[in-house]
Amino acid sequence: MADTEEPQIYLVTPPEIDLASFPDVLAQALDTVEIACLRLDLATRDEELIARAADACREVAHGRDVALVIADHVLMVERLGLDGVHFSDGARHVRKARKDLGGDAIIGAFCAASRHDAMTAGEHGADYVAFGPVGASQLGVGSVAEHELFEWWSQMIEVPVVAEGGFTEELVRSLAPVADFLAFGEEIWRADDPAAHLTRLAAARR
């Protein structure tokens, strides 16, 4: 990716959401900053809860022309009218998902800091790979995805790369030239005013 290009914003839901209030908070965030993609990434495995959350988020996201992908639950993509799936365990399911969902679905893979896993995901048809965390975060296995990894990937590999996990404004400034997408999640939703914090982080890309 050229240094002059500004990375797009990729938003990740909190692991737990209150359906009475979160859709309004999400709508405010999506109306504040241009978002390329939203990921529904809940901690629960209760399919009924996930489906209700997906319905609520889809209405908000699609109403603003924002793609909605779901973490790991590939069988729910078509049933719930979602745009794709994000695998949190790297490349292992990408090939089958591409075959099952077809060429139009968005398929992404979180690969921690593994170049090999990310390259495999790309070869198997992933639309993007994600590395992280880039800062202090519970994401992944504890190792940090360093700036050099993104720099190498952006120079050598054509598959778009997402940076995520533990963003600060300083990290946004550092990684903006070498990432195609910056994924903001808990760092946004923990703030007293999520939309305002999203605006600050997004502004740091420039």
| Tokens at 1, concatenated | 């990716």
Torsional sign, CA 71, 75, 76, 78: positive
Give the least confident one: 51-65, 103-117, 133-147, 186-200: 133-147
Separation between Cα atoms, residue 29 and residue 73, nearest integer Å: 25
Does residue 15 have a cis bond before it (omega within 30 degrees)? no
Convert the pLDDT of each residue in 162-197 to its tens digit.
Answer: 999 999 999 999 999 999 999 999 999 999 999 999
- Looking at CATH, the fold of the domain delimited by 8-203 is given as TIM Barrel (3.20.20)
CB of 40 closer than 8 Å to CB of 15: no
Q: What are phi and psi of 48, to 5 degrees?
A: -65, -45
* Residue 129, token pair as written in the block: 């790979």
The per-residue pLDDT for range 69-82, each reduced to its tens digit, is: 999 999 999 999 99
Q: Where are the domains of the chain?
A: 8-203
Cβ(72)–Cβ(110) below 8 Å: no
CA distances 174 to 3, 20, 156, Å, are 11, 37, 19
The pair of three-digit structure tokens given for residue 180, joined into one six-digit string: 């195609």
Provide the whole-model pTM. 0.95
* CA neighbor of 189 nearest in space, from 34, 7, 15: 15
